[in-house]
Structure 1
Amino acid sequence: MPLLTPEQREELLANGRHSGRDHVPVAKFFNPVGIGTWLATEVDGDQDTCFGLADLGFPELGTFSLEELAALELPFGMHIERDVFFAGAFPISAYAEAARETGSITAGIRILSNAARAQHGEGT
């Protein structure tokens, strides 16, 4: 499966043209057999260099390469995957703060999702 759908690529490129804003993540990538989670908010005109939140044991904002993610060869013939169920609901700054407080992007997403459900009365 490709790391991005054409629609996601276009949204990331559009966000990249407005770099510096607090965009909502467009895509989430993860290592299915180990550590590694990435949230992408924008991509440069080179269509490779993404900006977002990366967690390789410590969550931090920065850039990463889609090409490098796609080329990673993991155990058991696995590769980095896109989370097809992820839908960004908050600006990247909220994900970064939650990830830093909890120690991981995954735990941060869980906290934010639970808070959103409670705010909308869905958790009762």
Structure 2
Amino acid sequence: MPPLTDAATRELLLANGREPDRDHCPVFKLFNRRGPATWLICKLHADGDTMFGLCDLGVGEPELGYVSLDELKEVSAGLGIGLERDLSFKGRYPISVYARAARAAGRLLEDQGTLEAAKRG
């Protein structure tokens, strides 16, 4: 699991967490190289553990929800290879747009055409 020690990233996540009703863009993407699980994370709560974002475990039902950073670290250690942070990912749309597109497709998508269509509703 990549550490969230980057002070700027952590502060952005915490700032987003202080605005719970705002539809934030994802700040980072985590994925499992050996499997379909992917997370787009947009908020970190003040407890430093509870994150909010779009979770796609690869079972055809991506959903918005909460995930524990500590639990992800445990899962990552159990995989032996760890989860990875996609350093090239840039959240360009609010998390609700990614969620709308993912629900329609049954999986997390990042292509601009699909996201633009989801943005329009």
Q: Which runs of 5+ in 2 are unaligned?
A: 117-121
Tell me the amino acid that sits aligned with residue 21 of structure 1.
Answer: R
Corresponding residue for residue 46 of structure 1: 47
Corresponding residue for residue 121 of structure 1: none
State TM-score, norm by structure 1.
0.82
Report how many aligned residue pairs link the two structures.
111
Is residue 87 from structure 1 mapped to residue 90 from structure 2 by the alignment?
yes
Greater radius of gyration (CA): 1
Taking the aligned partners of 1:109 and 1:81, their CA distance within structure 2 comes to 17
Would you identify which runs of 4 or more consecutive aligned residues in structure 1 move more than 3 Å?
114-117
Taking the aligned partners of 1:79 and 1:9, their CA distance within structure 2 comes to 20
Identity of aligned residues (%): 50
Tell me the amino acid that sits aligned with residue 82 of structure 1.
Answer: R
What RMSD in Å do the two structures reach over aligned CA positions?
Answer: 1.8
Q: Which has the higher contact order (CA 8 A, sep 6+)?
A: 2
Structural mapping, 1:5-24, within 5 Å: 5-24=6-25
Taking the aligned partners of 1:26 and 1:84, their CA distance within structure 2 comes to 11
CA deviations 1:33-76 (Å, max 9, x no partner) are 112111111011011100111011220011001111122221xx
Corresponding residue for residue 119 of structure 2: none
Corresponding residue for residue 35 of structure 1: 36
Q: Which runs of 5+ in 1 are unaligned?
A: 118-124
Taking the aligned partners of 1:60 and 1:3, their CA distance within structure 2 comes to 24
Taking the aligned partners of 1:99 and 1:115, their CA distance within structure 2 comes to 9
Distance change (3 Å), C-alpha of 1:60 and 1:116: closer
